[in-house]
Structure 1
Amino acid sequence: MSIELLSLDNIQELAHTYGYWLVFLGIALENTGIPLPGETIIIVGGFLAGSGELNYWLVLVTAIAGAVLGDNLGYWLGKVSGWQAIVKLSKFFGIPTDKLEEAREKFSNNAAKAVFFGRFITILRIFAGPLAGIAQMPYRQFLLCNLGGAAVWALTIVSLSFFLGELVSLTEIITLVSKLSFGVLIIVAIAIGLPLAIKLRTDKLS
C-alpha cells in the first residue's frame, strides 16, 4: 500500500527549490495527519546538507519544528473532531481503515511510547498526534513526548543521511532507513557519524 503523495524525483526537485521550507512544511503536514512522505523529505534534506547545498543545523531545527507543530495540530484536530473525522480523512487519502485501526491499537497499548517512538513507524508518524487527541492524552504529557520524540527522530535521520551521503546513494539511504529498526538506526548513525565528525573537525583544525 502506498500512502505517499510525492515521488522521490518530485521531492528532490522541490528540495532544490524550496530547501528548508519543504522540510518544515512537509513534515508538519505529515504529522498533522496528511500522508506525505515526511521521512523521505527529511532524508533528502540531510543528504543535501551533506553535499553542502543546505546547512545541517538548519535542516535539523526545521525538521524538529515541523514535527512538533504538525503533531500539535494533529492533537487538537483529534481532540476536537474525534475518531470518525480521522477515519474520513484517512479514507480521503486512500488509507485503509484497517491500517488506521492497527495504529489505534498500537497507540492504545502505550500512548506515551507511541508518541515518542511512533515517528519511526510511518502510520504512527502520521496519526500519533490525532490519536493522542482522541484518547484525551494529557496535553503536558503529549507535549513532552512530542518534543523528545521529534528531537530524537530528526537527529537520527538527518545525521544518518548527512554522513551516509558521502558513502552511498540517496536511494540506498532511503532503503536502509526503511528496513532498520529504531535501535539499529541509532547505532548506525553513531558508528558512521562519529568517525566522520572527528575527521571533519581534525581537517578544520589542521
Structure 2
Amino acid sequence: MHVQEWLETVPAVSIYALVGLVIGLESLGIPLPGEIILVSAALLSSQHAGIDPFVLGACASAGAVIGDSIGYAIGRKGGRPLLAWLGAKFPRHFSEGHIATAERSFEKWGMWAVFFGRFVALLRIFAGPLAGVLRMPYWKFLIANVLGGIVWAGGTTAVIYYVGVVAESWLKRFSWLGLVAAVLIGVTSMLVLRRKAKKAAATAETQKPAAAEPEPVPATD
C-alpha cells in the first residue's frame, strides 16, 4: 500500500490526539519534536480531506497551553532541585549553560519570554517549568502562555496548510518538470561524485610512499 493511501486510512481523531499529546509533553518540559509533529500534521491536512486544519490548530493550541501550565505547576513546586534533576536526565537540553541562558531571557523580558519562547525550540521546553521555578505570577504567565500557544500553533498550522495546498496544486500542474529536474540532479550528482572519487584515488596513488629498496647484503670473506 502506498504511504499516502495508508495515511488516508488513519482516523483524524488519532492525528489530533497525537499532535496535542506530543506538544503538551514538550511544553511540560520533556524534549520531544513538537514542532516537527505539528508541521507534518498540518502538511498532511492539506492533502487529507478528513483532517480539519481548524481542529488541528485548536488541538495543538490546547496541548501547548495545558502542557505549559502543568510545567509551570511542576516548576513552582519542584524549584531548583527540579532543574538539577532535569539536567542529569537530559544533559543535552537542560545543561547549566542552557538554563542560564533561559534565566537571563526570563529576567530581561518577563512575559515576553514566555510568549516568544513558544517560537524557539529551547525556550519552548523551558518556558513552563522555568517560569514556575522563578515564581512568575501565574496570571502573567497564563496570559503570555495562552496568547503564545494560540499564535504559534494556529499560525504554524495555517501557514503550512496553505503552503501544502499551493505546493500540491503546483506539483500537479508541473509534475513532469519536477520529474525531469529530479533526474537531471541525480545524474549530475552521480557524475560529480564519480569524478571526485577518481581524483581522490589518483591523489592517493601518487602520495603512496615508494617501496623501500632492499639493503645490500655485506660481502663475506
- The answer for the alignment partner of 2:184 in structure 1 is none
Q: Aligned match of 2:41 in 34, 39, 45?
A: 45
**Matched position secondary structure for 2:57:** helix
The residue number in structure 2 matching 1:30 is 26
Matched, 1:159 2:155: no
Q: Does 1:136 align with 2:153?
A: no
User: For 1:71-150, what aligned pairs fall within 5 Å after superposition?
Assistant: 71-94=68-91, 95=93, 96-150=95-149
**What letter corresponds to residue 130 of structure 2 in structure 1?**
L
What is the distance in 1 between the residues matched to 2:79 and 2:113? 18
Q: Pick one of 57, 70, 78 that aligns with 2:67.
A: 70
Count of residues paired in the alignment: 158
CA RMSD, Structure 1 to Structure 2 (Å): 2.3
Contact 1:100 1:123 in 2 (8 A): no
Cα displacement (A) at 1:114: 0.7
CA contact 2:19–2:38 (8 Å) conserved in 1: yes
Name structure 1 gaps, 5 residues minimum. Answer: 1-12, 170-206
Three-state SS of the structure 2 residue aligned to 1:36 is: coil
**Partner Cα distance (1:148, 1:140) in 2:** 12
Question: 1:108-149 CA distances to partner (integer Å, 9 max, x unpaired)?
Answer: 211200111111111110110111111111111111111111
Q: Which residue of 2 aligns with 1:190?
A: none
SS at match of 2:118: helix
Tell me the TM-score normalised to structure 1 length. Answer: 0.71
SS in 2 for 1:19: helix
2-structure distance, mates of 1:61, 1:90: 32
Match of 1:103, SS state, is helix
Amino acid across the alignment from 1:114: A
Matches within 5 A, 1:182-201: none
Question: Counterparts of 1:166 and 1:55 in 2: how far apart (Å)?
Answer: 13
**Do the aligned partners of residues 97 and 164 (structure 1) sit closer, same or farther apart at CA in structure 2, a change above 3 Å counting?**
same
Shift of 1:167: 4.4
Which one-letter code corresponds to 1:31 in the other structure? S
5+ residue gaps, structure 2? 1-6, 169-221
The whole-number CA distance in structure 1 between the counterparts of 2:32 and 2:132 is 20
Kept in 1, the 8 Å contact 2:58–2:154? The answer is no
